[in-house]
Amino acid sequence: MRFTAETTSDGVVERDFTLGDVTGVLWAPASGPDHAPLVLMGHGGGLHKKTPGLAARARHLATTCGYTVAAIDAPGHGDRPRTAEDERARAELRQAMAAGDPIGPVSARYGASLAKQAVPEWRATLDALQDLPEIGADAPVAYGGGITLGTAIGIPLTAADPRITAAIFGGGFVVYDALLDAARRVTVPVLFMLQWDDEHVDRQAALGLFDAIGSKEKTMHANLGGHGGAPAFEDPAPFLTRHLGTAGAPA
C-alpha cells in the first residue's frame, strides 16, 4: 500500500493510496486513538471512491464516531483504466436508460463480473489496512454501505470475509441469482436501505433480496423516492456504533 497524497480539512485527514492496480482513499480523524473501528465504503455504478455523498458520509463517521473509513474504486471506475468490456457495458446501460428499457440483464451481467474482481481486491486492501500500525488487526470492521454496485460487491464481500462484523447494503440494484446466493451466506447484522420508488429496480425483487439475507438481526429502512438515494436524515452512525462501538469505546 502506497500513499500518494494527503490533505487535512475540517478535522479529517484524507489519504489517497494505491495497492497494485487498485486506487483508494482513507479518511481518519486528524487526532484520535489508534485501532478505531474501520468502515469500508462502496460506491454506486458509474461513480467513484470520492463521490460527494460517499465522501460526506465518510467525513461524518470520522468526526462523529472517530472511525477510519476506506473506499476503493471498483474495477473500471474512478482512477482505474476501463477495459473494452467496461466501455461496452457502460454504453449498453446508457442506451437502455435513455430508451427507458429495463437495465436488468446488462446490469446483472456487468455487476456480477465486477463483483468477482472487486471482492479479492477489497480483501487484499483490508489485509494492507490491517498492516498499518494505526489500524491493526483488532479494529472492528464493517461494510458501511454503497447502494447499487456497492451492494452488488458488498454482499459477496461480507459473505466471504469473516473480518466484517456488520454491514449496510442498499436495495438499488438488479437482483440476480448469485447475489441472492451470497445474501443467504451473510450472517452478520445488516441494515438494508431501500428506495421505495426506485425506477430501475423491481420492488419485490429488492424485498426478496432483504428476505434472503441469512442474518439473525437485519433491519430494512425503506424511504419514499427514486434511485437517487436515501434522504439526508438516514444516518448510518446509530447502526454502526451499536455494532462497532466508537473510537476508544467498544460496542
Positions in the binding site for a second copy (CB under 8 A): 196, 207, 210-211, 215-224, 231, 233, 238, 242
Enter the C-alpha cell of residue 70: 476506506
Closest approach, Cβ 170 to a second copy, in A, equals 14
Grid cell listed for 241: 456504533
What is the closest distance, in whole angstroms, from the C-beta atom of residue 224 to a second copy in the complex?
A: 6
Hey, what's the torsion of the CAs at 29, 154, 76, 24, to 10 degrees?
20
Nearest approach in angstroms of CB 225 to a second copy is 9
Residue number with CB closer to a second copy (8 or 204): 204
Nearer to a second copy by Cβ, of 33 and 250: the residue is 250
Q: Which is nearer to a second copy, 32 or 236 (CB)?
A: 236
Which residues have CB under 8 Å from 215's CB, separation 6+?
186, 187, 188, 189, 190
Closer to a second copy by Cβ: residue 133 or 238 = 238
Nearer to a second copy, 129 or 206 (CB): 206
- Joined together, the cell numbers standing for residue 235 give 444516518
Taking the complex as a whole, the smallest distance from the CB of residue 185 to a second copy amounts, in Å, to: 17
User: Closest distance between a second copy and the C-beta of residue 242, in Å?
Assistant: 6
Cell numbers linked to 178:
448469485
Give the gyration radius of the chain's Cα atoms.
17
Cα 189 to Cα 160: distance, rounded to the nearest angstrom: 15
Give ∠ CA 245-187-161 in degrees, rounded to 5: 80
Q: Tell me if 104 sits within 8 A of 45, measured CB to CB.
A: no
Q: Is 41 strand, coil or helix?
A: strand
Instruction: Give the three-class secondary structure for 97.
Output: helix
Smaller CB separation from a second copy, 36 or 190: 190
CB of 10 to a second copy, least distance (A): 24
